[in-house]
């Protein structure tokens, strides 16, 4: 009888516990710091635990840049993913949409615990909803003017614009070059880079008459044809065998070697309307 | 190439013919819900599953009346109907809480794979005031080894056993992040003091 993983035998839970264990250390540290009066003569934080606690204090005091710096320092000493989540939340609260998105994605790249990933994923989705998209135009020639929706947004390679999601017209022009026009699709919270490559305006030269291209010689397909024949034969035999086995073991109850699971007291449907 | 094709074919035929023993023809997951230890006889069970979709968390609950049923003597068996495409085939938290009237008396939590059919043993652990002081049905695993299965602390542990709003199946993500760094209050989830 096949048995699913249980509380006593979960897949990968040993690893998860081993990784989560430091979180309780963080909790203990946070509680200890909060319960003790903060001394002005306290030594500057040096350990990852002290740095994280100091970062939490800075965050509470709305000193967000300092808090991020301290969380980064803590993370450098002890790469606990939750430190990255705190950085992302701070950036999110500051309204730094693109930085927050980047930070949430960074957290997700380190976090393997499903609960932590769930939290980050939901926050990331919430940040992206209604967020503008960022368009950066780089490339050549430098100095080319960039217009989006007929509004000049800058010159290549430093033209950047945050735009509402949807279609926008893009035009890049430079004297001596062929103007480039296109439509760009901006997605919320997504940064996209447009690489400009304007073609120089050239005086038309007499067109070269291309030489006729000879038709490709017909290859000898014997080997290929033989291969396909064998593949066809193999497939036919396999399907036929599978059907025969299905008739012997599947459709004939008398010859079946399977038994039905014990009957249930109750059936619980996980389909249909969700709440 | 020809030898390879025949090799695959032969291996398939041999593998198909080799399994002769009886196997259980599972088509879904069965929960065998039981009690461990001394527990006041529960009068009802609440089973909940939670997972995440692009539209946010989704939760489904099943309320089971245990009147006249003694799950201490034989497990209560629930067949899960998990249709293809159900969000619960991905990462899912399963929680089962046994109540005596309105008081939680035992609980179980796990992160099973509901996409793999088979039997799943749901052995509930007794809940006391020491384990669940806010009586939200989720144990504080730090309160003692008797409160939780050793693995429960990883994914279904009540990190704030004084606030029933904070528990692993809360729909507000801030309220179920049991890492001690976030708090549940709206707009102040940076750190827990």
The verdict on residue B182 lying in a domain is: no
pLDDT in tens, A153-209: 888 887 888 888 889 999 999 888 889 888 998 888 888 888 888 888 876 655 554
The verdict on residue B48 lying in a domain is: yes
Chain B residues 50-79 within an 8 A CB cutoff of chain A: 52, 54, 56-60, 62, 64, 69, 76-79
pLDDT in tens, A57-110: 887 777 888 989 998 998 888 888 888 888 888 888 888 888 888 899 998 998
pLDDT in tens, B88-114: 877 788 889 999 888 888 888 877 878
> Hey, are the CB atoms on B182 and A274 less than 8 Å from each other?
no
The verdict on residue B37 lying in a domain is: yes
Query: Which DSSP helix (H) or strand (E) runs through A98?
Result: helix A97-110
Say what the pLDDT of residue B55 is: 76
Neighbour-count burial of A175, counting CB atoms closer than 10 A to its CB (0-12 exposed, 13-18 middle, 19+ buried): exposed
Domains and CATH numbers, chain A: 13-128 (1.25.40.10), 133-197 (2.60.40.1120)
The verdict on residue B11 lying in a domain is: no
How many domains are contained in chain B?
1
Say what the pLDDT of residue A122 is: 83
pLDDT of B136 > 50? The answer is: yes
More confident residue, B9 or A11: B9
Q: Tell me, what CATH number does B109's domain have?
A: 2.60.40.2990
Q: Which of B188, B40, B21, B32 is nearest to B126 (CA)?
A: B40
Say what the pLDDT of residue A158 is: 78
Strand-pairing partners, residue B126, are B106
Distance (Å) from the C-alpha of residue A71 to the closest C-alpha of chain B? 12
> Hey, are the CB atoms on A6 and B173 less than 8 Å from each other?
no
Average of per-residue pLDDT values in chain A: 74
Q: How confident is the model at residue A7 (pLDDT cuts 50, 70, 90)?
A: very low
Q: CA B135 to CA B152: how far, in whole Å?
A: 17
> Hey, are the CB atoms on B24 and A258 less than 8 Å from each other?
yes
Q: CA B44 to CA A124: how far, in whole Å?
A: 38
Range of the domain at B31: 27-162
């Amino acid at each position: 009888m096949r048995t699913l993983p249980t509380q006593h035998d979960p897949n990968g839970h040993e690893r998860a516990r081993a990784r989560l264990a430091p979180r309780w250390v963080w909790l203990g540290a946070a509680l200890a710091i909060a319960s003790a009066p903060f001394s002005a003569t306290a030594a500057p934080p040096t350990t990852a635990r002290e740095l994280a606690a100091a970062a939490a204090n800075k965050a509470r005091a709305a000193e967000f840049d300092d808090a991020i710096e301290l969380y980064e320092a803590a993370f450098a000493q002890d790469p606990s993913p939750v430190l990255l989540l705190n950085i992302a939340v701070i950036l999110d609260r500051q309204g730094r949409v693109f930085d927050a998105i980047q930070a949430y994605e960074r957290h997700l790249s380190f976090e393997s615990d499903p609960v932590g990933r769930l939290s980050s994923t939901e926050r990331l989705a919430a940040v992206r909803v209604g967020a503008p998209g960022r368009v950066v135009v780089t490339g050549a020639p430098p100095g080319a003017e960039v217009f989006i929706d007929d509004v000049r947004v800058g010159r290549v390679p430093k033209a950047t614009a945050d735009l509402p999601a949807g279609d926008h017209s893009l035009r890049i022009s430079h004297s001596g070059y062929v103007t480039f026009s296109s439509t760009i699709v901006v997605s919320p919270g997504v940064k996209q880079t447009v690489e400009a490559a304007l073609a120089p305006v050239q005086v038309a030269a007499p067109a070269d008459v291309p030489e006729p291209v000879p038709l490709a010689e017909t290859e000898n397909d014997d080997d290929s044809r033989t291969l396909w024949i064998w593949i066809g034969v193999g497939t036919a035999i396999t399907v036929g065998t599978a059907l025969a086995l299905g008739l012997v073991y599947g459709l004939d109850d008398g010859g079946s070697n399977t038994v039905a699971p014990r009957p249930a007291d109750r059936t619980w449907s996980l389909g249909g309307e969700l709440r | 190439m020809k030898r390879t094709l025949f090799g695959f074919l032969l291996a398939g035929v041999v593998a198909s013919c080799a399994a002769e023993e009886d196997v259980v023809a599972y088509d879904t997951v069965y929960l065998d819900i039981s009690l461990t230890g001394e527990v006041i006889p529960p009068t009802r069970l609440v089973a909940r599953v939670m997972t995440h979709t692009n539209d946010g968390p989704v939760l489904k609950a099943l309320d089971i009346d245990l009147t006249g049923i003694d799950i201490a003597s034989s497990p209560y068996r629930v067949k899960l109907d998990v249709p293809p495409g159900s969000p619960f085939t991905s990462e899912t938290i399963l929680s089962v809480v046994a109540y005596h009237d309105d008081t939680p008396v035992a609980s179980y939590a796990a992160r099973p794979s509901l996409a793999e059919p088979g039997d799943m043993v749901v052995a509930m652990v007794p809940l006391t005031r020491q384990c669940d002081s806010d009586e939200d049905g989720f144990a504080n695993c730090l309160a003692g080894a008797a409160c939780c299965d050793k693995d429960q602390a990883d994914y279904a542990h009540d990190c704030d056993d004084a606030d029933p709003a904070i528990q692993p199946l809360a729909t507000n993500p801030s309220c179920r992040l049991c890492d001690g760094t976030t708090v549940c209050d709206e707009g102040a989830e940076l750190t827990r003091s």
